[in-house]
Amino acid sequence: MATSNDIKNGAVLKLEGQLWNTIDFQHVKPGKGGAFIRTKLKNITSGKVVDKTFNAGAKVEFATVDRSDYQYLYQNGEDYVFMDLRDYDQITVPAAVVGEAANFLLESQEVTIAMNEGTPLYLEMPPSVVLEITQTDPGLQGDRSKAGTKPATLETGHEIQVPLFVEQGTKVKVNTSTSEYLGRVTD
Protein backbone atom coordinates (compact mmCIF):
# COMPACT_ATOMS: atom_id res chain seq x y z
CA MET A 1 0.00 0.00 0.00
CA ALA A 2 1.20 3.46 -0.89
CA THR A 3 0.01 6.85 0.31
CA SER A 4 -1.98 9.55 -1.45
CA ASN A 5 1.24 11.59 -1.71
CA ASP A 6 2.38 9.12 -4.42
CA ILE A 7 -0.55 9.90 -6.76
CA LYS A 8 0.57 11.16 -10.19
CA ASN A 9 -1.14 11.69 -13.56
CA GLY A 10 -1.68 8.32 -15.25
CA ALA A 11 -1.53 6.35 -11.98
CA VAL A 12 -4.22 3.68 -11.70
CA LEU A 13 -5.88 3.40 -8.29
CA LYS A 14 -7.94 0.53 -6.97
CA LEU A 15 -10.90 2.03 -5.08
CA GLU A 16 -13.89 0.03 -3.85
CA GLY A 17 -12.96 -2.89 -6.13
CA GLN A 18 -12.81 -0.77 -9.29
CA LEU A 19 -9.90 0.64 -11.28
CA TRP A 20 -9.63 4.43 -11.68
CA ASN A 21 -7.14 6.26 -13.91
CA THR A 22 -5.79 9.55 -12.52
CA ILE A 23 -6.49 12.28 -15.08
CA ASP A 24 -5.42 15.20 -12.91
CA PHE A 25 -4.14 15.74 -9.38
CA GLN A 26 -3.25 18.71 -7.22
CA HIS A 27 -1.52 18.85 -3.84
CA VAL A 28 -3.21 21.53 -1.72
CA LYS A 29 -1.71 22.99 1.47
CA PRO A 30 -4.22 25.45 2.90
CA GLY A 31 -3.16 28.08 5.44
CA LYS A 32 -5.22 26.33 8.10
CA GLY A 33 -5.68 22.60 8.51
CA GLY A 34 -3.94 19.63 6.96
CA ALA A 35 -2.78 19.19 3.39
CA PHE A 36 -4.88 17.18 0.96
CA ILE A 37 -4.77 15.87 -2.60
CA ARG A 38 -7.55 16.84 -5.02
CA THR A 39 -7.89 14.39 -7.93
CA LYS A 40 -9.96 13.87 -11.06
CA LEU A 41 -10.41 10.13 -11.66
CA LYS A 42 -11.82 8.23 -14.64
CA ASN A 43 -13.36 4.80 -14.15
CA ILE A 44 -11.56 2.48 -16.56
CA THR A 45 -14.53 0.22 -17.24
CA SER A 46 -17.42 2.72 -17.37
CA GLY A 47 -15.58 5.91 -18.39
CA LYS A 48 -17.28 7.88 -15.60
CA VAL A 49 -15.21 10.86 -14.38
CA VAL A 50 -15.37 11.91 -10.70
CA ASP A 51 -13.59 14.36 -8.42
CA LYS A 52 -12.15 12.78 -5.26
CA THR A 53 -10.19 14.29 -2.39
CA PHE A 54 -7.68 12.37 -0.27
CA ASN A 55 -6.06 13.47 2.98
CA ALA A 56 -2.29 13.82 2.63
CA GLY A 57 -0.64 10.56 3.64
CA ALA A 58 -3.86 8.50 3.44
CA LYS A 59 -3.36 4.89 2.35
CA VAL A 60 -4.39 4.14 -1.24
CA GLU A 61 -4.01 1.01 -3.32
CA PHE A 62 -2.31 1.31 -6.69
CA ALA A 63 -3.11 -1.22 -9.42
CA THR A 64 -0.28 -2.69 -11.45
CA VAL A 65 -0.72 -1.57 -15.05
CA ASP A 66 1.61 -2.77 -17.78
CA ARG A 67 1.72 -0.73 -20.97
CA SER A 68 2.98 -2.47 -24.10
CA ASP A 69 3.18 -1.59 -27.77
CA TYR A 70 0.87 -3.56 -30.04
CA GLN A 71 0.08 -3.56 -33.73
CA TYR A 72 -3.55 -3.62 -34.87
CA LEU A 73 -4.15 -6.60 -37.16
CA TYR A 74 -7.88 -6.95 -37.92
CA GLN A 75 -11.41 -6.88 -36.57
CA ASN A 76 -12.96 -10.23 -35.68
CA GLY A 77 -16.70 -9.69 -35.29
CA GLU A 78 -17.10 -7.27 -32.37
CA ASP A 79 -13.53 -7.82 -31.16
CA TYR A 80 -10.21 -6.38 -32.33
CA VAL A 81 -7.04 -8.46 -32.72
CA PHE A 82 -3.64 -6.96 -31.85
CA MET A 83 -0.10 -8.38 -32.00
CA ASP A 84 2.47 -7.75 -29.26
CA LEU A 85 5.52 -6.20 -30.94
CA ARG A 86 7.93 -7.85 -28.48
CA ASP A 87 6.97 -11.53 -28.71
CA TYR A 88 4.42 -11.51 -31.59
CA ASP A 89 1.66 -12.99 -29.40
CA GLN A 90 -1.85 -12.03 -30.48
CA ILE A 91 -4.53 -10.78 -28.11
CA THR A 92 -8.21 -10.12 -28.66
CA VAL A 93 -9.59 -6.88 -27.24
CA PRO A 94 -13.36 -6.35 -26.87
CA ALA A 95 -14.96 -3.40 -28.70
CA ALA A 96 -15.98 -1.85 -25.36
CA VAL A 97 -12.30 -1.57 -24.37
CA VAL A 98 -11.25 -0.19 -27.77
CA GLY A 99 -14.03 2.43 -27.56
CA GLU A 100 -13.56 5.66 -29.54
CA ALA A 101 -10.08 4.55 -30.67
CA ALA A 102 -11.83 2.37 -33.29
CA ASN A 103 -12.57 5.57 -35.24
CA PHE A 104 -8.85 5.92 -36.01
CA LEU A 105 -7.59 2.32 -36.28
CA LEU A 106 -6.07 1.12 -39.52
CA GLU A 107 -4.40 -2.23 -40.11
CA SER A 108 -0.72 -2.27 -39.05
CA GLN A 109 -1.16 0.80 -36.84
CA GLU A 110 0.78 0.80 -33.58
CA VAL A 111 -0.99 1.56 -30.29
CA THR A 112 -0.21 1.15 -26.61
CA ILE A 113 -2.48 -1.17 -24.64
CA ALA A 114 -2.67 -0.90 -20.85
CA MET A 115 -3.15 -4.28 -19.15
CA ASN A 116 -3.96 -5.23 -15.56
CA GLU A 117 -3.34 -8.89 -14.66
CA GLY A 118 -3.63 -9.91 -18.33
CA THR A 119 -6.87 -8.02 -18.94
CA PRO A 120 -6.80 -5.15 -21.45
CA LEU A 121 -8.02 -1.94 -19.78
CA TYR A 122 -7.78 0.74 -22.47
CA LEU A 123 -5.94 1.79 -25.64
CA GLU A 124 -3.60 4.75 -25.81
CA MET A 125 -3.64 6.18 -29.31
CA PRO A 126 -0.96 8.51 -30.66
CA PRO A 127 -2.03 12.19 -30.29
CA SER A 128 -2.74 12.40 -34.02
CA VAL A 129 -3.06 10.11 -37.02
CA VAL A 130 -2.95 10.60 -40.80
CA LEU A 131 -6.01 9.28 -42.63
CA GLU A 132 -7.45 9.67 -46.12
CA ILE A 133 -10.78 11.35 -46.89
CA THR A 134 -12.90 8.78 -48.73
CA GLN A 135 -16.05 10.87 -49.19
CA THR A 136 -16.88 14.57 -48.99
CA ASP A 137 -19.07 16.93 -50.95
CA PRO A 138 -17.45 19.71 -52.93
CA GLY A 139 -17.26 22.89 -50.88
CA LEU A 140 -19.16 25.87 -52.21
CA GLN A 141 -16.95 28.92 -51.84
CA GLY A 142 -19.85 31.27 -51.00
CA ASP A 143 -21.32 28.95 -48.33
CA ARG A 144 -20.38 30.32 -44.91
CA SER A 145 -23.40 28.99 -43.00
CA LYS A 146 -21.25 26.37 -41.24
CA ALA A 147 -18.19 28.53 -40.47
CA GLY A 148 -16.39 27.29 -43.56
CA THR A 149 -16.47 23.57 -42.76
CA LYS A 150 -18.17 20.52 -44.22
CA PRO A 151 -18.54 16.85 -43.17
CA ALA A 152 -16.00 14.35 -44.50
CA THR A 153 -15.76 10.58 -44.06
CA LEU A 154 -12.35 9.09 -43.21
CA GLU A 155 -11.09 5.75 -44.53
CA THR A 156 -12.02 4.22 -41.14
CA GLY A 157 -15.67 5.28 -41.64
CA HIS A 158 -15.53 8.03 -38.99
CA GLU A 159 -16.97 11.43 -39.93
CA ILE A 160 -15.22 14.71 -39.08
CA GLN A 161 -15.56 18.38 -40.02
CA VAL A 162 -13.00 19.73 -42.51
CA PRO A 163 -12.48 23.10 -44.24
CA LEU A 164 -14.26 23.69 -47.54
CA PHE A 165 -11.08 23.35 -49.64
CA VAL A 166 -10.39 19.72 -48.57
CA GLU A 167 -11.28 17.28 -51.34
CA GLN A 168 -11.91 13.55 -51.58
CA GLY A 169 -8.64 11.56 -51.63
CA THR A 170 -6.77 14.13 -49.50
CA LYS A 171 -4.72 12.84 -46.56
CA VAL A 172 -5.42 14.77 -43.37
CA LYS A 173 -4.01 14.82 -39.86
CA VAL A 174 -6.68 14.23 -37.18
CA ASN A 175 -6.52 14.69 -33.40
CA THR A 176 -7.43 11.29 -31.87
CA SER A 177 -8.92 12.70 -28.66
CA THR A 178 -11.18 15.39 -30.19
CA SER A 179 -11.70 14.17 -33.82
CA GLU A 180 -10.53 17.62 -34.86
CA TYR A 181 -9.01 18.32 -38.29
CA LEU A 182 -5.38 19.44 -37.84
CA GLY A 183 -4.26 19.96 -41.43
CA ARG A 184 -3.54 18.45 -44.83
CA VAL A 185 -0.62 16.09 -45.26
CA THR A 186 1.43 15.99 -48.45
CA ASP A 187 3.25 12.79 -49.35
Domains 66-124 and 128-185 share a fold: yes
User: What would the pLDDT profile of 37-92 be if each residue is shown by its tens digit?
Assistant: 899 988 887 778 899 998 888 888 888 888 899 999 999 888 999 999 989 899 99
Of the candidate CATH numbers 2.30.30.30, 3.30.300.30, 3.40.50.620, 2.60.260.20, the domain formed by 2-62 belongs to 2.30.30.30
Q: Fill in the amino acid letter for 30.
A: P
Report the predicted TM-score, pTM, of the whole model to 2 decimal places.
Answer: 0.72
Distant-in-sequence, close-in-space partners of 144: CB < 8 Å, separation ≥ 6: none
Distant-in-sequence, close-in-space partners of 100: CB < 8 Å, separation ≥ 6: none
Q: Where are the domains of the chain?
A: 2-62, 66-124, 128-185
Rounded CA gap, 81 and 102, in Å?
A: 12
Q: What residue spans of 24-173 are helical by DSSP H?
A: 95-98
Query: What per-residue confidence (pLDDT) applies to 1?
Result: 66
The architecture (CATH level 2) of 128-185 comes to Beta Barrel (2.40)
User: What would the pLDDT profile of 127-153 be if each residue is shown by its tens digit?
Assistant: 899 999 999 888 666 555 556 788 899
Query: What per-residue confidence (pLDDT) applies to 10?
Result: 78
Query: What per-residue confidence (pLDDT) applies to 140?
Result: 65
User: What would the pLDDT profile of 97-132 be if each residue is shown by its tens digit?
Assistant: 888 888 889 888 899 998 888 888 888 888 899 999
Rounded CA gap, 88 and 71, in Å?
A: 9
Distant-in-sequence, close-in-space partners of 128: CB < 8 Å, separation ≥ 6: 173, 174, 175, 176, 182
Does the domain formed by 66-124 have CATH 2.40.50.140?
A: yes
